[in-house]
A and B are shown apart, each in its own frame.
Chain A
Amino acid sequence: MTDWFRSLFTGESRTRDIALVLIGSLLLWEGCVWLFQPPAIILPAPSDIWQSFIATPGTFLRNMLYTLGTTALAFAISVALGVILAIGIVQSKFLERTVYTLLVAINSVPKVALAPLFVIWLGTGLEPKISVAVMLAIFPIVIDTVLGLRSVDPDMLNMARATRASKLDVLLKIRLPNALPSLFAGMKVAISFALVGAIVGEFVAGGKGLGFLVLTAQGQFDTTRVFVSLVLLGLMGTVLFYIVDIAERLALPWHVSQR
């Protein structure tokens, strides 16, 4: 027992360090609320947030699943569409001059501001939420994949040309694998952006999801329920990020960052 207790504070363990920091912060939070007694509408204690969650866990989980579905679908569409666009941009000078230039221009617009437009165009169902999320998430995918497809060692391309390799072979066997590390870097950014897009979509189009829960709880000045939704969102974002991280480790055992 004492050995176990001592091992908590000695040696190296990432999980333990993270757990200690999390538990420490929660205890500090709980202590401050207990000490200073702020009104619950300003800052609820962690224990209150937990109580609020277990009062109606079904509602929270159902809405979380909805947001998760929107995020996952938008992320999948962004990856598929983004990679196809990136390949087109790299293979065709015309697409580079037109589509890529346009994409870079649109990227500098605060896209969240366009969300209400999608409600007008697509109504209040799943479509506007997916659209907003894709619009946010596709940019890092396209830009990073274009970079990865382009940054091939010129001698590697010479080696392929010397054998008169086909353009398709060069794309599939050299350019695409070479772009995978960049694609994964883009995917790590995109997964968070997809979640942001889904929430913004729920803010403006309403109906379902954690974003909608935050909005309704705010309307009722139920700060505790706002916090429950935020905690769930934070958990979801973290888990999604690590899923991409693990996928990267599995897909790229050869890459420098994984050795």
Chain B
Amino acid sequence: MNATVRPVPYVAIANAGKVYPSSHGAVTALSDINLDIRPGEFISIVGPSGCGKSTLMKCVAGLETITGGTISVAGQPLSGPPDGMGVVFQRDVLLDWRTILDNVLLQAEFMGRPRAQYRDRAMQLLDRFGLGGFEKRHPWELSGGMRQRASICRALLCDPDLLLMDEPFGALDAMTRDDLNVELSRIWQGTNKTVLFITHSISEAVFLADRVVMMSRSPGRIVDVIDIDLPRPRSLSIRETPAFGAYTQCIRHHFAELGILQE
């Protein structure tokens, strides 16, 4: 059927569903999710609160189990958190009693790898994320944006093939957020990492992604997947171009049709 060879998906989600039992009966958090993510692809998932986008990410991370369908990562069906994965959470979850460097190295410690081998890489990462010179500081001495940068460094320390990000910039102010979007985009480009990025900001989703997955709620489901065909590297000014505006407008329009946004 296909003229070209389809690449093997790095993350394959087939008919995945998640049903929670609750005192008011079963709640369907995710229903019939189908999504193939190619290796090295940047996927944004955008949707309103309660659409199950964070639940979907936790399922891919192996932190929650699906109640139907299958998820495989690197060809392996999931049973718990997969190898070679880094996760960034909405809050930075840095340990207050450790320095920034020790917080980044925690990833290696938890994965049972020798700290000494990762020290240089940790310093390089901190440098690349503008945290050079702050490695001896404690998280509470840093701003929210710097803390979230450190938590991205931690997720990247062991060079994961898959990076999952759950609204990582949701708690930051608009300017810091723009800044980190550019930085993330720039750093991702030189790698072949597969990224699953959860956000509730349409323009953030379009700016970062190769494809934007739109989700809706009750039950949580995928309503559309949109290819973002914008040139890379992308700078913030791309947001003023007609092409960018067309994408965000199309997504906004679609959400409006679903009754999620007002037009």
Contact = CB atoms under 8 A, between A and B. Distances in A.
Interface stretch (B79-87, B169-177, B243-251): B79-87
Contacts of B106: 173
B73 to A, nearest CB: 12
A82 to B, nearest CB: 21
Contact of B96 (A161, A162, A173, A255): A255
B140 interface: yes
B97 A177 contact: yes
B258 interface: no
Contacts of A180: 97
14 contacts: A153-B91, A155-B90, A155-B91, A158-B87, A159-B87, A163-B111, A164-B80, A164-B111, A173-B95, A173-B109, A177-B95, A252-B97, A255-B96, A259-B140
A147 interface: no
Interface in B101-119: 106-107, 109-112
Interface of B: 58, 61-63, 80-81, 85-87, 89-91, 93, 95-97, 106-107, 109-112, 138, 140
A259 B140 CA distance: 9
B140 A162 contact: no
Nearest to B138: A254
Nearest to A156: B93
A160 B110 CA distance: 7
Given A155-B89, A163-B107, A166-B112, 9 more contacts: A155-B91, A155-B93, A158-B63, A164-B80, A164-B111, A173-B106, A173-B110, A177-B97, A254-B97
Contacts, number: 55
A73 interface: no
Contacts of B97: 177, 180, 252, 254
A122 interface: no
Nearest to B63: A158
The 4 closest A-B pairs by CB, nearest first: A165-B110, A163-B110, A162-B87, A156-B93
Interface string A162-180: 1111100100011001001
A161 B61 CA distance: 10
Nearest to B166: A155
A202 to B, nearest CB: 40
Contacts of B96: 254-255
Contact of B63 (A153, A156, A161, A259): A161
B93 A153 contact: yes
Contacts of A155: 89-91, 93
B63 A169 contact: no
Given A169-B110, A173-B106, A254-B96, A161 B91 contact: no
A9 B105 CA distance: 53
A254 B86 CA distance: 26
Contacts of B138: 254
Nearest to B157: A163
Contacts of A159: 87, 89, 93
A50 to B, nearest CB: 46
A175 to B, nearest CB: 11
A180 B106 CA distance: 19
